[in-house]
Structure 1
């Protein structure tokens, strides 16, 4: 498994149902949403993407779309260890709505997802084999239950010539991550699509270069790295 994600969805109800009905996102409407979510930041239009590949944009880029009833923003900046620490203004923007955060990184088998209802955090989970369970807030959602019950054990076998310990988690975070993505947003990044899955590759997202004028210059940060 090699999927990476880092995105938010704001919705007036069930995200998969709303995304099934979207058409072309209006650029001016989407740019207005970006200005609200990135107050005081420098925002410049750039090449866009789609919902399937745009959920993990390059650093410094955001892929976004705003439709009546549902909005999507992909940005690596939301890939935080503890989703409950999502910046307050991003949570406040979900007043009266549902907010979904989904983030995973295949290199370290890390998964984080969270759901807010009308600004109230109802579920947050973040875990990886190296760090264990980083955050676990609220009751598990229905799609999680087989994993916690031991019905979806991690299918990770150590190399026979290496003295490796068993996989340190009872299930593989990326497998749960794909089920979370399907249940919360209606599509998957890897694995076999199901008949009811959204064709995320057909949903276009606008592209934006975003920079915090008070943050480090991207070129300087890259040079330092």
Structure 2
């Protein structure tokens, strides 16, 4: 598995229904939405993407799409360990709507998702094998039931001897794909089911965002290059043989 997501959705009703019937997103309304969710930030156009490729944008890039009844944002900054601590202004923007966060990182087998109704958190889960269950708020959704019931265990690797059992009763990325399907209507890995949305058909507009209150990417890159130069030329070491020691 190699799926990663930093995905936020606002919807008047069900996001799945809205995305299934969505047509071309409005560029003007998407730009307005991105600016409203990042007040004071500098926003400039970047290359577009799709929901199939854009759920884990490059650093400093935000993807978005505004359709009637649903708004989508993809940004790495949404990948937070505790979804209940999502910035207040992002939650306030969901007044009268449903808000869904989905974040997943395959390198560390981490999953987090959360759902708000009219600004009220009704479910939040965040877990990984290294850190265990970091957040578990509200009643599990029906799609979670077989995972918590032990029906989706992680099988041992037959190529490993004396392997310890997986640290969780299920693999977070397996539940993550199921959550993605239930909450957004598509999957990134695994076999699509009849009725699933094709994420490659959902266009996302790209934006480069710069926070005026913090260093931008160019400044961070320049700082890194300065640090590397200050370290001087790399020193090389070699192992000496016994003969060299006696010379």
Larger Rg: 2
Number of matched residues? Answer: 224
| C-alpha displacement of 1:49 | 0.4
* Corresponding residue number in structure 2 for 1:196: 195
Contact 2:156–2:163 (8 Å) recurs in 1: no
* Corresponding residue number in structure 2 for 1:94: 94
* Corresponding residue number in structure 1 for 2:210: 211
RMSD (CA atoms)? 1.4
Contact 2:122–2:138 (8 Å) recurs in 1: yes
- Aligned pairs for 1:120-199 (under 5 A) are 120-157=120-157, 159-161=159-161, 163-199=162-198
Cα distance in 2 for residues equivalent to 1:10 and 1:158: 43
| C-alpha displacement of 1:80 | 0.2
| C-alpha displacement of 1:158 | 6.8
| C-alpha displacement of 1:154 | 1.5
| C-alpha displacement of 1:51 | 1.1
Which structure 2 segments of 5+ residues have no match? 229-247
Cα distance in 1 for residues equivalent to 2:11 and 2:35: 18
When normalised by structure 1's length, the TM-score is 0.96
When normalised by structure 2's length, the TM-score is 0.88
Cα distance in 2 for residues equivalent to 1:4 and 1:170: 21
* Corresponding residue number in structure 1 for 2:245: none
Contact 1:33–1:66 (8 Å) recurs in 2: yes
Contact 1:158–1:165 (8 Å) recurs in 2: no
| C-alpha displacement of 1:113 | 0.3
Tell me the SS of whatever aligns to 2:40: coil
* Corresponding residue number in structure 2 for 1:20: 20
Matched, 1:113 2:113: yes
Cα distance in 1 for residues equivalent to 2:39 and 2:155: 44
Contact 2:62–2:206 (8 Å) recurs in 1: yes
Tell me the SS of whatever aligns to 1:195: coil
| C-alpha displacement of 1:159 | 4.3
| C-alpha displacement of 1:157 | 2.1
Q: Structure 1 residues 52, 156: closer, same or farther in 2, change over 3 A?
A: farther
Cα distance in 2 for residues equivalent to 1:209 and 1:158: 45
Contact 1:155–1:172 (8 Å) recurs in 2: no
Of structures 1 and 2, the one scoring higher in RCO (CA 8 A, sep 6+) is 1
